[in-house]
Amino acid sequence: MLANRKRAEEIMKKYGVEAIIASSPENVTYLSDFWDDGHWSIKGTQVYAVLPLDRSIDPFIVTSVGALDQVAIEKNCWIGNFYTYGKFFIQVPDEEDFLETEQKLKKLLNNMKKGDDPVSALINGLAESGLIGKRIAIDEMNITPKLFESICKKVSNTEILYGYSMMREIRAVKTEEEVKRLQRSAEIIEKGFLNAIQNIHEGMSEIEITDILRQTVIEQGGLPILTCIGAGHNSAFPNVIPTDYKVQRGDLIRFDIGCLYEHYYSDTARIAVLGKPTDKQRVYYNAVKIGEEQALRLVRPGTKASEIFREAVEGVRKAGIPHYERNHVGHGIGIECYDLPAMTSSSDDVLEEGMVMNIETPYYELGFGGLQVEDTILVTKEGYQELTRNSRNLFIL
């Protein structure tokens, strides 16, 4: 089970809501372990996962009839109560020797509770669960204003709050299953990086380097999702797209990379240089590395994210880049690449045990190149555990 249900209940009590309704693909999957392909790939597709505060009320999912086969195939979905909408046709003979998944789908088709449309199906579920008239929160990120207005009109006696920020607050502290997936995602992308740099040679293009990384990620069961790989002057572009530029001796090669593993992100950054690094490359790289490491020393429950930001920036400045500036020095990571906490100067976030977060200290200078060290860590009772484990030293090829 992905969801931190105990924390979800604590957050619902904090805001005085009797149920929270997920609408965005990430939040639906998080609350229910249900993955609907159309929800993730077709914009505007409506799927809801409803988690009541009262455990005597069954959670339920609203999805299209055509998605029920994914419920039958999916082994992890822990919610068995479905309200459906739409039309879809699957022939079910009366007497057949069905596979287990076919039997499950037949049962789902026979027991589904239908609505005319997504909103009607949701309202039906809320009514049958006794949640109409209660204070509820709806994750607004995948609901158009028109749909949101329609829901509010149909339950005019129900107080509805925006729930996306509540979902982010719930997801900030990870469950054991989430940490397991994040760890594996980190392992996969780090193997991709190591395989890529072991094959770099002068005259190799950024695209060729990226292809090696992507292939390695796929072979390990991951999905390449972040491949900012730039060499030479291109490395100074924060969101660099790999080109046919061919690596030359003396080039910095910046890797800001990540993948998805069972819907969970990895995000890490390392720097290589082909040949002997210049004095400036060494000094500046050492500075961003020191800044990140000083920030890591502050990581423990109770530390303010803003304190970590200041330590990272000051660390880089004192170590060799006095003009260093940053908008953030990291972020939480999970089923979304950018979770809480936000590592900014103005952040009110406070670190909690069980948070998984990235610490990073990028530096970009046109005409010189880009430098970046980024690691993923789990906040523990005493400090932190590293989920990314590749060396932080400058890789000299």
pTM above 0.85, yes or no: yes
Residues 143 and 185 grouped into a single domain? no
Domain count, the chain: 2
Considering 139, 171, 203, which residue would you say is the last residue of a domain?
171
Instruction: Please tell me the distance from the alpha carbon of residue 328 to that of residue 348, in angstroms, as a whole number.
Output: 13
Q: Give the per-residue pLDDT at 239.
A: 97
Considering 171, 189, 218, which residue would you say is the last residue of a domain?
171
Residues 71 and 131 grouped into a single domain? yes
pLDDT at 156 over 90: no
What range defines the domain where residue 362 resides? 176-396
Residues 132 and 107 grouped into a single domain? yes
Residues 183 and 167 grouped into a single domain? no
Residues 117 and 57 grouped into a single domain? yes
Give tens-digit pLDDT for 96-118: 778 778 887 877 777 777 888 99
Residues 256 and 277 grouped into a single domain? yes
Instruction: Please tell me the distance from the alpha carbon of residue 203 to that of residue 159, in angstroms, as a whole number.
Output: 63
Considering 155, 171, 187, which residue would you say is the last residue of a domain?
171
Q: What is the CATH number of the domain that holds 287?
A: 3.90.230.10
Residues 76 and 219 grouped into a single domain? no
Residue 200 contacts residue 275 (beta carbons within 8 Å): no
Residues 220 and 101 grouped into a single domain? no
Residues 200 and 342 grouped into a single domain? yes
Q: What is the CATH number of the domain that holds 151?
A: 3.40.350.10
Q: Give the per-residue pLDDT at 164.
A: 97
Q: Give the per-residue pLDDT at 209.
A: 98
Residues 153 and 206 grouped into a single domain? no
Give tens-digit pLDDT for 50-96: 999 999 999 999 999 888 888 888 878 999 899 999 877 777 787 77
Residues 254 and 337 grouped into a single domain? yes
Q: Give the per-residue pLDDT at 110.
A: 76
Residues 358 and 316 grouped into a single domain? yes
